[in-house]
Chain A
Amino acid sequence: MTAVLDIRGLHLAIGGRHRPTPILRGVDLTIGVGEVHGLVGESGAGKSMVGRALLGILPGAAVIEEGRIDFLGRDMIRLSERERRRLLGREISLIPQDPMTALNPVRRIGAQVADVLRLHLGLNDRAAWTRVVELLDEVHIREPERVARRYPHELSGGMRQRVLIATAFACEPKLIVADEPTTALDVTVQRQILRLIREMQANHGTAILFITHDLGVVAKICGTISVIHGGRILEHGSTEAIFKRPTHPYTSALFAATPRYDRPGDQLRPVPATLLAELAREARALDEGRRPGAAGR
């Protein structure tokens, strides 16, 4: 299997020049062609930072210290601004977390979806408009022509997320970063959106980096997963294998902390403090090895 995305030894830190806080500690991650890969972790694990580093939209204070992000043979970190711009939207796109804020409030839906078509495929206004309507239809928006003329505030959260999914798939990219695409939606809409992403993925054969904290979502959509904690990938493999027999104690603890609708009687257990302390110790040891003296907090 050839890889669409291959991240090797990615180290990323945030904040001060003298004492940066490590966020990612040597992340390795590989996604094959057409594969849906779940990146699972709790808040602050660094999962969104992986996606942002790949797309080049890191917050200002974040610095990539070392590592490679290899996308179809191109190193995304050392890409020039111009080359990156050609790739973004065309070969890699994003389904953002919050559909309420990801659309420009003062521009019509159609115009916003058309941007990417005109920019990368060079379609003229009329062709872009036709394609926009097709795309909106493909994500099951009823009356796509009417919706294309609406402003974002006139659409529900689920509708907006459909629009953003249409935009993400518009140029047939090789890889889509889905950064918690269902987190901001309510549960019934979550299901529909998840089903839509799966359907679009199957039709287009796009690889997806699916960033989430929700193990239930992972089980539904991802073929392979990586478990991230404290900026380290603790475990990776096929979803089936990991769900059946997690090898890392943190993964097991994570399962034990997740409510399951099929076993409502189960007692939920928080991730044990001793395990978290152990993980923190390991992380500190790693930081110490990279930057002697700096991790003495």
Chain B
Amino acid sequence: MAEPVAAALPDDGATGSVRALLGNPRVVFGGAIVLLLVTVALLADVLAPADPLAQDLLYSYLPPFWLEGAEPGYWLGTDSLGRDILSRLIHAARVALVVAVIAATATALIGTTLGLLAGFYGRWVDTVVSRLIDIWMAFPPVLLSIVLVAVLGAGLHSVIIAIAVIDWTRFARVVRAEVMVQREQDYVASAVVIGLGRWRTLTGEILPNVLPLLITLFTLEMGIAIIVEAILSFVGLSMASDFPTWGGMIAEGRQVIHQAWWLMAFPIAVLIVVVIALNMLGDGLRQVLDPVLRR
């Protein structure tokens, strides 16, 4: 939050915050994996040992390196077309990351705005938003996203739009409830009594108190976005099939699970680790960022 006066101070808080962040095991563990994911996605071209799209039918279904029959250079084996699985995993991280960041941001913007308005202004605003949430939640999310993407046409932008359109209720519900709690706090009455307007009270007093919650939700939403993207690529509605995605790789592996389990196992493992890391990071950040929980 913009805090001009605090910013004007010689700040002894910055180094303290960094220390607090590094002292929290969840932040360190989750953050390390997320950082690794970001690095891998950014440097995919350098890090990937092979071209993720290069086929070599002579080397199809190679097992990972510790199994008999593995070929050097293909660490995690190859798929039905002889493409290197490790390289495909690395390149697919890009898709996952882009979807996670953009979809979570869009979701947060829509959901938070509606949640803030509903929680703060109450009355008819709350009624409208709450009914909207009720209606939204009556739809099965996976089905709705498949329908949405089918209508919008396959592709990354459709996936992102679908996630934001479906999942804003997660933010709206939580933010609305939290704002309703915060609104009744004495500090809000104090803000009104010193003559702050309603909008400034909402954005300057209440929003900073909701922020730790938002950060938690945001990282959680990143994990959900990654899973939804995987589901959509699993059913073939995300990226065009020639570009590697974790969901797409799982879908391909499913058909040969008994002959080559590694096709499916590695993308699933990566998916699980990344989502767990995001959840832990969110939880840890909340502990560190909330001044009341800090000590």
Contact = CB atoms under 8 A, between A and B. Distances in A.
A126 B6 CA distance: 10
Interface stretch (A113-121, A225-233, A284-292): A113-121
Contact of A125 (B4, B190, B205, B208): B4
Interface stretch (B92-100, B193-201, B243-251): B193-201
B193 A115 contact: no
B193 A93 contact: yes
Nearest to A119: B195
A4 interface: no
Interface stretch (B24-32, B146-154, B181-189, B277-285): B181-189
Contacts of B291: 105-106, 151, 153
Interface residues of B, number: 31
B272 interface: no
Interface in A170-214: none
Given A88-B193, A106-B291, A111 B6 contact: yes
Contacts of A104: 187, 190-191, 205, 208-209
A120 B205 contact: no
Interface in A13-58: 55-57
Contacts of A8: none
A149 interface: yes
Contacts of B3: 107-108, 111
A129 interface: yes
A156 interface: no
A129 B292 contact: no
B187 A116 contact: no
A94 interface: yes
A96 interface: yes
Q: Which of B186, B197, B205 has the most CB of A within 10 A?
A: B186
Contact of B6 (A57, A85, A88, A108): A108
B4 A96 contact: no
Contacts of A88: 192-195
A153 B3 CA distance: 18
A129 B3 CA distance: 12
Nearest to A145: B9
Q: Give the bracket for the number of chain A residues in contact with chain B.
A: 35 or more
A162 interface: no
A155 to B, nearest CB: 12
B242 interface: no
Contacts of A149: 6, 9, 11-13
A103 interface: yes
Contact of A105 (B5, B6, B189, B292): B292
A107 B4 CA distance: 11
B211 interface: yes
Nearest to A171: B194
A86 B195 contact: yes
Nearest to A100: B186
Nearest to B206: A104
B143 interface: no
Q: Which of A85, A96, A104 has the most CB of B within 10 A?
A: A104
A86 B195 CA distance: 6
A236 interface: no
B194 A98 contact: no
Interface in B199-251: 205, 208-209, 211-212
A55 B187 contact: no
B208 A107 contact: yes
A167 interface: yes
B58 interface: no
A116 B189 contact: no
Contacts of B191: 104, 115
B8 interface: yes
B212 to A, nearest CB: 8
A98 B187 CA distance: 10
A103 B195 contact: no
Given A88-B193, A102-B190, A108-B5, 6 more contacts: A104-B191, A111-B4, A111-B6, A115-B196, A129-B5, A148-B9
Interface of B: 3-9, 11-13, 185-187, 189-197, 205, 208-209, 211-212, 290-292, 295
